[in-house]
Chain A
């Protein structure tokens, strides 16, 4: 099992550019989560999906952020346009929805917006 796979590992972009982060959950997991981690705010849940359907996007900071899950094996988090305050580590996590299990996190994408 390759675990949760995120790409890219690092992204440096200029303010105003579009950024797309990608995630492949563990096969068979039907819940997927996007988190943002900063020193100031810790781990923040941005959005999560059950069976490819967005369930709770109340953590998405503003309309510049959007997330999709077109199928069970792929999700994207897009920021357009990006701003310096979006700089953070973005984690994707997945879990089985059949019962309570801890998440499995990916290795994260470190985003720097200059």
Chain B
């Protein structure tokens, strides 16, 4: 089955700086890559996703890039704010609704 690895496990940045979280996957059949943000006491919430026919997608301060050849994808958050502090999960799917999640990155944005 698919194996998704996520790094780093924790990330601390100063407010206004950029944050980058990286994930790799093993199954070349995976074609959908969502990112989730989980705040304390809440369920994960979809923040952005990318499909395998696209190399990059941007939504305001967040962007995701995908390198199919290398089987890795990354989340970029620019101009970080304290409310960006949360745990972020990447995931991969081959289109059959079964998602494989990374282990999560705890992002701390220091004011």
Partner of B97 from A42, A43, A50 at Cβ < 8 Å: A50
Give the contacting residue for A43; candidates B31, B93, B98, B101; CB below 8 A.
B101
In the complex the two chains form, what is the Cα distance from A107 to B40 in whole Å? Answer: 10
Bin chain B's interface residue count.
Answer: 20 to 34
Q: Determine if B25 is an interface residue (Cβ-Cβ < 8 Å).
A: no
Known A107-B43, A108-B43: A100·B101 in contact at CB below 8 Å: no
Q: A102-B49, A103-B46 are in contact. Are A48 and B31 (CB under 8 A)?
A: no
Q: Which residue of A lies closest to B100 (CB)?
A: A45
Q: What CA separation (Å) do A88 and B5 show in the bound complex?
A: 22
Is B61 interfacial (CB 8 A cutoff)? no
Looking at B31, B32, B49, B97, the one whose CB has the most chain A CB atoms below 10 A away is: B97
List chain B residues, Cβ under 8 A from A103.
34, 44, 46, 99
* Known A102-B36, A106-B43, A108-B43; contact A42-B101, beta-carbon cutoff 8 A: yes
Tell which of B31, B41, B89, B97 touches A95, judged by Cβ atoms closer than 8 Å: B97
If A106-B43, A107-B42 touch, whether A45 touches B99 (CB-CB below 8 Å) is yes
Bound form: Cα–Cα A107–B93 in Å:
22
- List, in ascending order, chain A residues with CB within 8 A of B81's CB: none
Determine the chain A residues whose CB is within 8 A of the CB of B101 once the complex forms. 42-43
CB distance from B67 to the nearest CB of A (A): 19
* A56 vs B102: C-alpha distance when bound (angstroms): 20
B43 touches A91 (CB 8 A): yes
Q: Scoring B residues 16 to 43 as 1 if CB is less than 8 Å from chain A, else 0, what string do you get?
A: 0000000000000001101010000111
Query: Which residues on B sit within 8 Å (CB–CB) of A48?
Result: 97-98
Q: Are A31 and B97 in contact (CB under 8 A)?
A: yes
Q: What is the CA–CA distance of A108 and B45 in the complex, to the nearest angstrom?
A: 12
Min CB gap B89→A, angstroms: 7
A-side interface residues toward B, CB under 8 Å? 4, 31, 33, 42-43, 45, 48, 50, 56, 91, 93, 95, 97, 100, 102-108
Enumerate 14 A-B pairs (CB-CB under 8 Å) in ascending A order: A4-B43, A31-B97, A42-B103, A50-B97, A91-B44, A95-B97, A100-B31, A100-B32, A103-B99, A105-B43, A105-B44, A105-B45, A107-B43, A108-B43
